[in-house]
Amino acid sequence: MKTLLRYPLSVLFYLCFGTVLVFFHCVQWIALNGFGYQAHKVSVDVLNYFILRCLNILGTRISYTLEAPLPKTKGVIFVANHQSTFDIPPLIWCLRKYHAKFVSKKELGRGIPSVSFNLRHGGSVLIDRKNPKKALKKIEDFGKKVAKNHHSVIIFPEGTRSRDGKMQPFRKAGLVTLLKSMPEATLVPISIENSWHFAVHNYFPMPVGNQLRFTFHAGIQNNPEQIDQLIDRIESTIKNKLEN
């Protein structure tokens, strides 16, 4: 039955998803230009709430597990594995109180309604992965700005999405730079499970009844003098959860 439902439900999902993106692209523009940062942030939060409702059309269920209470401060670096495009809306909605910004590749900064607008204007940083030196400088400046504003960061250190659910080794340079530029931040590893099912058929048809799980592990205080050990600890924490 699920196989039969995949195609019509996928079509319905994309009709709703596309409508939401186009509508909130306009809402974001009005909010930002008419009312400023806070109004724009609220529009992004509501956008991602409706994206989650679109996923419900597919019978997608989303669960969040906290191994320890999340830090009360906003200066947090959330470090997650990356499995699909749909890792992101549940994180934005769940972490909306943290004003979380993204380290993203520059290609996503154009051509995608709502998404590209938010990446360009919402405080995230867009980097050119073909120019590592410039990218690291942008991440350094970004980290300092985020820390100054008491915002937070979501970063996917694998550098690309896993297509089979198996975590790829971290590309550490960007994360190292971010940790050095936010020395007082708390680090929270996040394990994301089952999101890769969305991308199995290149996002069409979409899976029906997928159980998307997010596990927030205990926070770790940043220590610029032990960055390599911290990154190894975060990487192993996420990987162990995915393999168990």
Distance linking the first and last C-alpha atoms of the chain: 30
Q: Look at residue 48 and tell me whether its pLDDT is greater than 90.
A: yes
| Pick from 92, 24, 13: nearest CA to 56 | 13
Instruction: Evaluate whether residue 196 is within a structural domain.
Output: yes
Instruction: Evaluate whether residue 90 is within a structural domain.
Output: yes
CA distance 45 to 22: 15
Instruction: Evaluate whether residue 50 is within a structural domain.
Output: no
For residue 119, the domain's CATH number is 3.40.50
CB-hemisphere CA count at 13 Å for 210?
27
CA distance 6 to 238: 30
The tens digit of pLDDT for each residue in 185-203 reads 999 999 999 999 999 999 9
- Domain of residue 127 covers 61-243
Instruction: Evaluate whether residue 21 is within a structural domain.
Output: no
Instruction: Evaluate whether residue 13 is within a structural domain.
Output: no
| Pick from 101, 107, 58, 28: nearest CA to 212 | 58
Number of structural domains the chain divides into: 1
The tens digit of pLDDT for each residue in 122-162 reads 999 999 999 999 999 999 999 999 999 999 999 999 988 88
CA distance 187 to 160: 20
Instruction: Evaluate whether residue 233 is within a structural domain.
Output: yes
Instruction: Evaluate whether residue 10 is within a structural domain.
Output: no
Mean pLDDT of the chain: 96
* Residue 191: strand pairing partners: 215
The tens digit of pLDDT for each residue in 68-115 reads 999 988 789 999 999 999 999 999 999 999 999 999 999 999 999 999
Instruction: Evaluate whether residue 51 is within a structural domain.
Output: no
